[in-house]
Structure 1
Amino acid sequence: MLASVYLVVAILCEVFASSMLKLSNGFKKLYPSAGVVVGYILSFYLLSLALKALPLGTAYAIWAGLGTALTALIGVLVYKERFNAKKFAGMALIIAGVVIMNLTGVSH
């Protein structure tokens, strides 16, 4: 249970860090750049804690897949990026892939 909490918070930290990349202006702005560094450090640390109890393939697929989908959603909602049928289909496929990997019931 705690491993799942670590994974969820790791995903949120990764999404935060990725979102700050846009604001960092190529690491020219101090605070967004610091947000990128701190967010990724926390994300990888929490992911490493989650991996003590979760299988690598499943945990990484969830971390990367949901992180990608949430970051794309932040792009649409916060940065007003275009959202079209292709982007929706890609996000749906990512989420479906994560769900399918979880349904396999792989244990370590």
Structure 2
Amino acid sequence: MHYFALFLAILGEVAATTSLKAAESFTRIGPTIVVVVGYLVAFVCLSVTLKTIPVGIAYATWSGVGIVLVAFIGWWRYGQRLDLPAIVGLGFIIVGVLMVNLLSKTEVH
């Protein structure tokens, strides 16, 4: 259940962050509502997650997965280009998130 809450936190943050561009400095009401609701969902769900997952693990996962998803959506929806160093760097982020969650024994999670 705690990883489901983290998943919802990631989705809320990604929806809000990718809607910032469409909100055009908060001059468009629809995307602005998505930004506000998305961040609200993200922080509420992240706070629920922190009851069972250590803050370092939760935040590393939340931010790492969010970075990769926002970069992918920027490429797909907004046509933003990702060069080879960017793709490799995003790959390193994915590897890092996997290592923290699957291999790390520093904290129980």
- TM category (shorter chain) comes to over 0.9
Q: SS state of the match for residue 67, structure 1?
A: helix
Question: Corresponding residue for 2:108?
Answer: 107
Structure 2 letter corresponding to 1:19 = T
Q: SS state of the match for residue 78, structure 1?
A: helix
Q: TM-score, normalised by structure 1?
A: 0.94
Cα deviation for residue 23 of structure 1 reads 0.1
Gaps of 5+ in 2: none
Cα deviation for residue 3 of structure 1 reads 0.3
- What RMSD, in angstroms, separates the aligned Cα atoms of the two structures? 1.0
Using the TM superposition, name which of 78-87 and 66-75 deviates more: 78-87
Question: Which digits, 9 at most, give the CA deviation of each residue in 1:50-73, with x for residues without a partner?
Answer: 111111100100000000100000
Q: Which 4+ runs in 1 deviate beyond 2 A?
A: none
Q: Find out whether 1:90 has 2:86 as its counterpart.
A: no
Question: Corresponding residue for 1:36?
Answer: 35
Cα deviation for residue 84 of structure 1 reads 1.4
CA distance in 1: counterparts of 2:72 and 2:19, whole angstroms: 14
Report the identity percentage: 40
Paired residues, number? 107
Gaps of 5+ in 1: none
Alignment of 1:1-108 (within 5 A): 2-102=1-101, 103-105=103-105, 106-107=107-108
Q: TM-score, normalised by structure 2?
A: 0.94
Structure 2 letter corresponding to 1:80 = G
Q: SS state of the match for residue 78, structure 2?
A: coil
Structure 2 letter corresponding to 1:107 = V
CA distance in 2: counterparts of 1:9 and 1:80, whole angstroms: 26
Question: Which digits, 9 at most, give the CA deviation of each residue in 1:26-67, with x for residues without a partner?
Answer: 111111011101100100000000111111100100000000
